[in-house]
Amino acid sequence: MGGVEGLPDSTRYGYGVSSPADGPTLSGVSDVLQRLRGALIVSVQADDGSPLRDTGIIAAMSRAALLGGAGGLRLRSPEDIRTVRALTDVPIIGLTKQAQPGSPVYITATPQEVRAVARAGAEVVAFDGTDLPRPFPVADLIAEAHACGALAMADISTLAEAQAAYAAGADIVGTTMSGYTPHSPQQAGPDFTLMRELAGAGLPFIAEGRLNTPELAAHALATGAHAVVVGSAITRPDHVTRWFAQALGVAGDRSS
Ligand SMILES: CC(=O)N[C@H](C=O)[C@@H](O)[C@H](O)[C@H](O)COP(=O)(O)O
């Protein structure tokens, strides 16, 4: 028994590997995860329909995030990854967002998408690791990431999904999907309960989702997160504007 306590050895790369049986430590953990320890990872994604959905803009926002101290980037398409890869050596967590027929899963749901993300230059491929109905099993996505020499990050919404992802060979999990599956708490703030559960179970995790202030991000690290992903509060000015507009009682789309 190695890797995460209570779970079988799973991969060559991440926390599933050669950490000692008394719990996960950084010894034996991949260089990429070592570099991400304690890092602020900025998610630079623009939604479909956003005026910022342009690779040049994503590259400029990524450079701004690096200027501000981002130690990693989370990017959503092979084109964006390839462009930003040429600008920086910081670890990139890559994903695709693509609707799947007959499934609510949209984050890197197929081995083909995993391969495209890894080949574009992402060291870590993030994929939906929830219990939702899916076109391919989580284990297939992990195997494809490893075959491409990338780490596999499972975006989960519950402790049980995290345990299943590690058992299937994931290198790291992220709390990304809490609040976005019907069986996880629907709340405006980050899911610190899930973070405490993961930490209590000795499962390494990246904190992600609605960490909208520096204080919340710092609290996630203090809760035991390996690293913290912040997206909307840094790179979605439309969302941030809406937060302010709602607080002032003046919300409304005035773009047309
Ligand atoms: C649920 C989902 O699809 N999350 C996506 C995952 O990549 C992104 O849209 C989020 O921006 C990212 O998770 C960071 O979260 P936040 O923007 O709340 O800081």
ipTM: 0.99
Rg (CA), the chain: 17
First to last CA, the chain: 59
User: Which atom of ligand 1 approaches the CA of 97 most closely?
Assistant: 3
Neighbouring CB atoms inside 10 A of 87's CB total: 13
Give yes or no for residue 157 CB within 6 A of ligand 1: no
Provide the Cα torsion 189, 61, 224, 77; round to 10°. 90
Q: Which of 43, 75, 92, 173 to mutate to test the pocket of ligand 1 (most atoms within 8 A of CB)?
A: 43
208/141 Cα distance (integer angstroms):
20
Confidence (pLDDT) at 25: 41
Residue 226 confidence (pLDDT): 98
Which residue puts its alpha carbon closest to atom 19 of ligand 1? 231
CA of 169 to the centre of ligand 1 (A): 23
- Phi, psi (5° rounding) for residue 140? -65, -40
Domain ranges of the chain: 31-246
CATH of domain 31-246: 3.20.20.70
Amino acid 7: pLDDT: 41
- Three-state DSSP class for residue 206: strand
Q: Which residue puts its alpha carbon closest to atom 12 of ligand 1? A: 231
Quote the pTM value. 0.92
Q: Cα–Cα distance between 193 and 116 in angstroms, integer?
A: 34
Q: How many CB atoms lie within 10 A of CB 192?
A: 16
Q: Where residue 28 falls among pLDDT bands split at 50, 70, 90?
A: low
**Residues with Cβ within 8 Å of residue 108, at least 6 apart in sequence:** 95, 96, 114, 117, 125, 126, 127, 128, 141
Cα four-point dihedral sign 136, 109, 156, 166: positive
User: How many whole angstroms from 1 Cα to the centroid of ligand 1?
Assistant: 34
Q: Whose CA is nearest to atom 10 of ligand 1?
A: 231
- In terms of residues, how long is the chain? 256
The mean of the pLDDT values for the chain is 92
* Count of Cβ atoms closer than 10 Å to residue 150 Cβ: 26
Query: Residue 232: CB within 6 Å of ligand 1?
Result: yes
Does the beta carbon of 180 sit less than 6 angstroms from any atom of ligand 1?
yes
